[in-house]
Amino acid sequence: MEPVIQEEASGCGIAASAALAGVPYADARRVANGLGIHAEDQTPWSDTRHVRTLLSAFHITTSPMETPFTSWEALPDKALLAIKWRREGELPFWHWVVFVRQGGHAYVLDSRKPLRSHLRRDFGRMKPRWFIEVYD
């Protein structure tokens, strides 16, 4: 699985969905926009419903609930992680990343444009709040 870089400041959900679907960001954005999901609107990224809808459009199934993060070892082989969780006024916000474990290796695909490497293994620096399991 390859990282996909977000093109808008709040496009992490679109980028994470694109990485899971194996499509370019522009394709995922086009599908998202057709579903009424727009990165410019920051409120979708304080609700899991929008990213679930987008993933469903790509025929990707997810767990119906969010699971609190306890440890990296306890994560399933594929998951959407909510990191950088915070409150802005009444709304919670977070940054979506994709956790992958395959071939005995674990890594995170992070779509943030300024990063030097979008394939991360610096697990101690990321502070996940919860995750959504992604099924193959």
| 44 within domain boundaries | yes
| 7 within domain boundaries | no
Range of the domain at 85: 12-135
| 4 within domain boundaries | no
Quick: pLDDT tens for 47-76: 899 999 999 999 999 999 999 999 999 999
| Among 39-53, 82-96, 113-127, the range of highest mean pLDDT | 113-127
Helix pair 49-57, 12-21: axis angle to 10 deg? 30
Q: For the chain, what is the domain count?
A: 1
| 130 within domain boundaries | yes
| 3 within domain boundaries | no
What contacts 24+ positions apart, CB below 8 Å, involve 104-108?
106/72, 106/75, 108/81
Residue 43 confidence class, pLDDT cut points 50, 70, 90: low
Quick: pLDDT tens for 81-92: 999 988 888 888
Q: How many CB atoms lie within 10 A of CB 104?
A: 5
Strand 78-88 to strand 130-135: parallel, antiparallel, or no bridges (unpaired)?
A: antiparallel
| 27 within domain boundaries | yes
| 6 within domain boundaries | no
Query: pTM higher than 0.85, yes or no?
Result: yes
